[in-house]
Amino acid sequence: MTGGEVFMILVVAVWLSELPKPQLGEPRDLSTLRMQPAQDDVLTLSQTLDGLLAKDTVQVELIPEKKGLFLKHVEYQVTSQRYKISVYRRYSDFDVFHEVLLQRFAYRVVPALPPKRMLKGVLTSLSEREFIEGRRRGLGRFINLVARHPFFSEDELVKTFLTFSGSDVQSRLRDTCKKMGDEFMINRIATQAKEYLPADIQAQFSTSREMIRNIHNSFQRLRDRAEKMVERSKDNASDLLMFGKELSTLGSDASPLPSLASSQSTWGTLRQSLKSLSVEFAVLSDKAAQQGRREEDDVVEKLNLFLDLLQSYRDLCERHEKGVLHEHQKALHKYSVMKRQMMSATVQPKEQASVEQLESRIVQQENAIQTMELRNYFSLFCLHQETQLIFTYLPITSHILGSFVNSQVQGHREMGEVWSELQPKLGCLFSGNNGLKHSV
């Protein structure tokens, strides 16, 4: 080995000795090492329908007024199963809550409220009492969809509405919203939303929107048919009751038979027996009315709940297109006008102050456009999640069908039991006439 080679070896040895030595630890420590989990997929909702429904169930009940239901203000008792508390709210409280919810979550599905008043000339066939009951149901659907939303359910606004028992809940809601700001301002990934979106997000959005539109139309037709079944059940209840009353009227007629009547006529005996049958028909009427209520509560209401969600999704799509995208396009147009003005100012001599003002306005507009672009991507990000929410709710179809089948089975069974009890009574009443054996 030459002297030069020895020198080089010594230099390398000294260099290596100066490097920091890694702390490898003991071999037994290797068992504690684990692969680090990948970054969470923030775009995907990990929710199930059962999980959403279990978040909360909120009851909205009308508080009976001492002077009747037709006062200017109607109050509701709102009871949250989650918070185990009841609070009292007026429609105006719901209205303010809806308003601040839209301000805070402009890029999410916020269900609409039912109308505050009857529309003149449109709902003439609807009584005031029926309208108030329909509005109560609509408010119940609204608050349950909100309380079960994966993002709303943990928000301070929702908790305030469901739990605050002070005298001015509206001011509390507005103050809370003002302090917290809108979702874009506080969401940790709002400014990076573009990075999480798939490249074909616009195509996915268009396809999903069309599919959900078709689903919405189909569910509207299902709801319309279900409502007709409810009306038929109510009409059946009314007809059965009137049928029994007419039998009772016949049976209550104590007029003596005319001499022309045959001595063999049994009408006098039959007439006396008819009155007792009105009791059975009253029971049948009650069973038919119960069937109508089951169909309305278990089938129509669930259809309306899902329809409210589907409509709020369509409203969200319109807000995205007519709101965020439209404002972005307006800002770009305004920016292009400013740039042309700036180019004109550089060609034609103008006062330095006016040029500087124009430059400042251009910078401000550039910042505004950048913010709008970020909001646009965040809006698409939220739309993608809200689309997933719609599909998460789709299995509610099986819940609706199950309720429909169960209501029909129970209704027919109960009606069948009453008819079966009525049959032998007719046999006893009309045994001499073979009324059950021969048809006219």
DSSP annotation string for 106-153? TTS--PPPPPSSPPTTTSTTS-HHHHHHHHHHHHHHHHHHHHTSTTTT
Spatial separation of the C-alpha atoms in residues 86 and 428, rounded to whole Å: 55
What average pLDDT does this structure show over 168-180?
94
Per-residue model confidence (pLDDT) at position 129: 84
For 96-100, 221-225, 279-283, which range has the lowest pLDDT when averaged over its residues?
279-283
Instruction: Considering only residues 373 and 330, tell me which one the structure prediction assigns the higher pLDDT.
Output: 373
The answer to whether the Cα torsion of 150, 226, 81, 181 is positive or negative is positive
Instruction: Considering only residues 299 and 364, tell me which one the structure prediction assigns the higher pLDDT.
Output: 299
Residues in contact with 177: Cβ distance below 8 Å, sequence separation at least 6, in sequence order = 100, 103, 104, 157
Distances in Å between the Cα of 199 and the Cα atoms of 315, 369, 380 are 24, 22, 12
Residue type, 282: A
Spatial separation of the C-alpha atoms in residues 300 and 294, rounded to whole Å: 9
- Span(s) in the chain for CATH 3.30.1520.10: 49-186
21 pLDDT band (50/70/90 cuts)?
very low
Contact 122, 166 (CB under 8 A): no
423 pLDDT band (50/70/90 cuts)?
confident
What average pLDDT does this structure show over 134-152?
97
Across 256-260, 276-280, 307-311, the highest mean pLDDT is recorded for: 307-311
Instruction: Considering only residues 93 and 277, tell me which one the structure prediction assigns the higher pLDDT.
Output: 93
CATH superfamily of 229-252+271-430: Arfaptin homology (AH) domain/BAR domain (1.20.1270.60)
For 75-84, 163-172, 371-380, which range has the lowest pLDDT when averaged over its residues?
371-380
Spatial separation of the C-alpha atoms in residues 197 and 200, rounded to whole Å: 8
Contact 208, 320 (CB under 8 A): no
Per-residue model confidence (pLDDT) at position 432: 53
Per-residue model confidence (pLDDT) at position 376: 87
Per-residue model confidence (pLDDT) at position 39: 45
E strands, 273-401, in order? none
* 68 has pLDDT over 70: no
For 73-87, 125-139, 147-161, which range has the lowest pLDDT when averaged over its residues?
125-139
Across 317-321, 357-361, 375-379, 381-385, the highest mean pLDDT is recorded for: 381-385
What fold characterizes domain 49-186? PX Domain (3.30.1520)
Write out pLDDT tens, residues 271-291. 777 777 888 899 999 999 999
* 348 has pLDDT over 70: no
What average pLDDT does this structure show over 185-203?
90
- Span(s) in the chain for CATH 1.20.1270.60: 229-252+271-430
What average pLDDT does this structure show over 96-109?
95
Per-residue model confidence (pLDDT) at position 327: 55
Instruction: Considering only residues 329 and 11, tell me which one the structure prediction assigns the higher pLDDT.
Output: 329
Per-residue model confidence (pLDDT) at position 353: 56
Per-residue model confidence (pLDDT) at position 355: 58
| Inter-helix orientation angle 267-294/396-429, to 10° | 170
346 pLDDT band (50/70/90 cuts)?
low
Per-residue model confidence (pLDDT) at position 65: 67
* Of 90, 89, 83, the residue nearest 153 (C-alpha): 83
